[in-house]
Structure 1
Amino acid sequence: MRPILTPVQAPFPATRHRRTKRSAALRNLVQENRLAVHDLIWPIFLREGTAIEEPIASMPGVSRLSIDRAVVAAERAVGLGIPALCLFPYTEPALKTLDCAEAWNPENLTNRAIRAIKAAFPELVVMTDVALDPYNALGQDGLVRDGVILNDETIEALVKMALIQSEAGADILGPSDMMDGRIGAIRSALESAGHKDVTIMSYAAKYASGFYGPFRDAVGASGLLKGDKKTFQMNPANGDEALRLVARDLSEGADMVMVKPGLPYLDICRRVKDAFGAPTFAYQVSGEYAMIKAAAQNGWVDGQTVMMESLMAFKRAGCDGVLTYFAPEAAALLRG
């Protein structure tokens, strides 16, 4: 924990806190936290086809992109200085099965997109999602038998998925499934296969949240999910458990950790950073994005101001970076 400092201050009028607020230059000199373009990871959604930009109704300004359009988005990211994209596929219903085999198909949508983006922009970091829900006929993050999410069998599937994504050229793997022991299994498999430099950003503290609804629209999972995810995702009432899960994932070989959702769990971000000092990220999830966009569209808030204020909150809470659908809009503002 960081020490709590209580400096002695002279009484008013010797101390006037407004002195350092009276001009933009003075305010900038004493600003404690700074948001930069290199703090941003831009999640994008993929779909099959060519020349497709398919708007997502519940996420204004966000579209599903065919691979050629994803490459255009990558070009935009490079131009804005955004260092990384994170890829999420909309899988055609016919490819969703109980065994989730499309997840480790070398020619699946995500793997083809990885290759296309890295071929065009090798300097851009490509992050992937490692979980079975985009490929699962039941919409679950793991394999299901008799209504039960199978932990160990799911890990075997996730390892195959992670290896295929690494072979396609992924720089960062994002295991988002929350199965016990998956980080250690994936790390061991990567080492054995010669992918020793592939980075793992573990979704270490992922809560069973109501803020994911628009995302499920985006990946075609709305109405598909059977049951809930409370047997493996975190209880929103728990904080100490998050620290235990982060400690476990770091010990198993995670290079970076994530808290998800973001703004409702800033206290967890702060505790994780203070406890471990490891690279800590937050995901400003679809529901957070949609709420700000909806309020702005209705004229209830200034959209740009609230967007930037929300992103600065992550930095203040100790995050090293944030996954956000606002990335291109925020980057354009930050670059002036």
Structure 2
Amino acid sequence: MSVLVTGGAGYIGSHVVRLLQQRGTGVVVVDDLSNGRPERVGDAPVVQLDLATDAAVPTLTAAIAEHGVEAVIHFAARKQVGQSVAEPARYWSQNVGGTANLLLAMEAGKVDKLVFSSSAATYGAPTTPLVREDGPAEPINPYGQTKLVGEWMTRAAGRAWGLRAANLRYFNVAGAGWDDLGDTAVMNLIPIVFSALDAQQAPAVFGDDYPTPDGSCVRDYVHVLDLAQAHLAALDHLATDDRPHDTFNVGSGTGASVLEVLAEVRAVTGVDVEPVVHARRAGDPPQLVADVERITTTLGWRATKDLHDIVTSAWSAWRR
């Protein structure tokens, strides 16, 4: 079996690529290398490609045929909430257009298994302490909207030509499974804080007046290696005939506030982390924490690492 991994040279994708390689699965990576690094994927062939371009469908179709691809894991997308609010058309073009091109190539190449990188941003601003997959999906920013549309597209392809898909709604991903695969993009909270510490600047907290215990946003943080293992579990699930669900939360089931994360960074690094509070960012919900019963029951997956593991591994990779 050979698996095509879009965005496979990036932070999350490279963890999945390494796990696939460790279990002896052939891998081909498709990545535009805007954030990805080819040295992350070992000896896996890399096709440099922007999925949203006109060249995407024929190039992907050729790669599928050349490498005998039987399944796809789709990470490639723009993912910054604030940027999506400022540049919505770009996000629709990249995320929705890129997914459409991928599905066209999969249909042409007769590849019927897809693990799709979705997001907890599809839930918007839920009012429940834990969010379930069968609850309302009402995204409040263009990024979340594009991910929800991606889920619709996988279901439509299933009805039209038999695609088997698993949509994984990620919560906040952090940490590192190996020091050489740390998050270097400085787009997520923990690397942003580390970058501020390196520059001897105070990290920013966007909003301290949310309806949460300490006023800062609460998120569910999941270790990237746990998340990568969830993709392998989902891939194996697609080979079975009994697939009662196509959408799964991937989180720890436990929330931590921004200020609690900063306290853990202080404990791990020994560096005094006193933030500067700024106004809220557009499109940020107060709280997002996963109900993980479905993925545990159906795929047998559960997060094994906590916030301390996440920050410790992220700091080790960052120092490297």
TM normalised by structure 1 equals 0.35
Larger Rg: 1
TM normalised by structure 2 equals 0.36
